[in-house]
Structure 1
Amino acid sequence: MIGLNTAAVYILQTIGGLYLLIVLLRFILQLVRANFYNPLCQFIVRATQPLLQPLRRLIPSIGGLDTASLVLAIIVQLVLMALTLMLLGYGVDNPVQLLIWSIIGITALFIKVFFFALIISVILSWVAPGTHNPAAELINQICEPLLAPIRRFMPNLGGLDLSPIVAFLLLNLIDMLVVRNLAIMTGMYKGLSLAI
């Protein structure tokens, strides 16, 4: 029988995870220098502005990176993990470990955003090449900084672009060799699998 705590965790992770994705997208959009006049970018800016504006007064941009939105994403991830653990009856004994797990979680989500953006980009290139839909333009703006350096090293195959395949391989390797190993070394899988 599913209890109220399990239902509360489901709601928390669904709504909180969606907001976390929006906050991380704000960082990624700044990182890839996306067109902020795009309606989807405007939505992301409006959704993140209430929490991001006061944080920006404390945390300046470093090297052109939107540091405040990255810190906000880590804070949202940390709060989500802490609330999930508490709702399921586990204590939050080590806040430093929770912070490390949050950073690993954000890194994994960062990779997933690019991975799924690449999948959508490839599908759009088959079914609707050259479309000017705001969502398609945003997806292309997210993918292009990842694909452009790969294309420089790829041989020209007469219109066949294999750079997304190389990007998929690189993203999966980073996820497997770096993110998952860090999660295992810090006990993230063992600790959170009990709670989630």
Structure 2
Amino acid sequence: MNGFGTATIYIVQTLGSLYLLIVLLRFILQLVRADFYNPLSQFVVKATQPLLKPLRRIIPGFGGLDLASLVLAVLLQLLLMVAVLTLMGYGVGGYLLQLLVWSIIGVTALFLKVFFFALIVSVILSWVAPGSYNPAAQLVNQICDPLLAPIRRILPNLGGLDISPIFAFIALNLIDMLVINNLAAMTGMPKILSPFL
């Protein structure tokens, strides 16, 4: 593949993955019941609304979960994989079911990465700007709190030292290593198709 083809794949994958992240954030923000009036939440809602509005007519929510945004994330990952494979010169006609499985694995991997990096940002913010009222800091804390709350209930109070993120990191990494990477390997998923693995 020439340099132009590689650059095209890079651009498609980068821009597609960025929008996929925004769509998945829409699902996560509703899952953790983040503040809807936060400016960053409003950006996510406005960026995803054009594609989600027609999809919501077909796929209703269930039990407080925004299934339409989750389905949209899987469809976007599928389209992204088809685009990358097509640009690489591969035919995808007979492999749509396998690509759908790979798309679900890719979206699940991204789901874990969002929580992983939100935890990193939360830990850094707790050192440099504890109690910050910045909209980004508040949103990161709202994403991390449901993950950390069960761990905090189990751990003893260590006098102001919160080590719950360490256990959350371990849990997320174990799920990634033992579940996501093994599923990707079992299904023969190429690394190029999901930068989140």
Normalised by the shorter chain, which TM-score bucket?
A: over 0.9
Structure 2 alignment gaps of length 5 or more: none
Aligned AA for 1:138?
L
Check if 1:108 corresponds to 2:84.
Answer: no
Displacement, 1:3?
Answer: 2.8
Displacement, 1:8?
Answer: 1.1
Identity rate of aligned residues, in percent? 74
Check if 1:173 corresponds to 2:174.
Answer: yes
The equivalent residue for 2:13 is 13
Structure 2 Cα separation of the partners of residues 86 and 150 of structure 1: 44
Displacement, 1:143?
Answer: 0.2
Residue aligned with 1:11, SS: helix
Displacement, 1:62?
Answer: 1.3
Displacement, 1:189?
Answer: 3.1
Q: 8 Å contact 2:24–2:111 — kept in the other structure?
A: yes
Displacement, 1:191?
Answer: 8.1
Structure 1 residues 123 and 191: alpha-carbon distance in aligned structure 2, compared to 1, 3 A threshold: closer
Q: 8 Å contact 2:122–2:141 — kept in the other structure?
A: yes
Structure 1 residues 23 and 190: alpha-carbon distance in aligned structure 2, compared to 1, 3 A threshold: closer
TM-score by length of 1: 0.96
Residue aligned with 2:60, SS: coil
Structure 2 Cα separation of the partners of residues 176 and 17 of structure 1: 21
- 1:125-164 matched pairs, under 5 angstroms: 125-164=126-165
Structure 1 alignment gaps of length 5 or more: none
TM-score by length of 2: 0.95
Q: 8 Å contact 2:27–2:69 — kept in the other structure?
A: yes
Structure 2 Cα separation of the partners of residues 44 and 190 of structure 1: 28
The equivalent residue for 1:57 is 57
Aligned residues: 193
Deviation beyond 6 Å, 4+ runs, structure 1:
none
Displacement, 1:136?
Answer: 0.2
Structure 2 Cα separation of the partners of residues 21 and 132 of structure 1: 24
Displacement, 1:99?
Answer: 0.2
Displacement, 1:28?
Answer: 0.1
Greater Cα offset, 14-23 or 4-13: 4-13
Structure 2 Cα separation of the partners of residues 155 and 182 of structure 1: 35
CA RMSD of aligned residues (A): 1.4
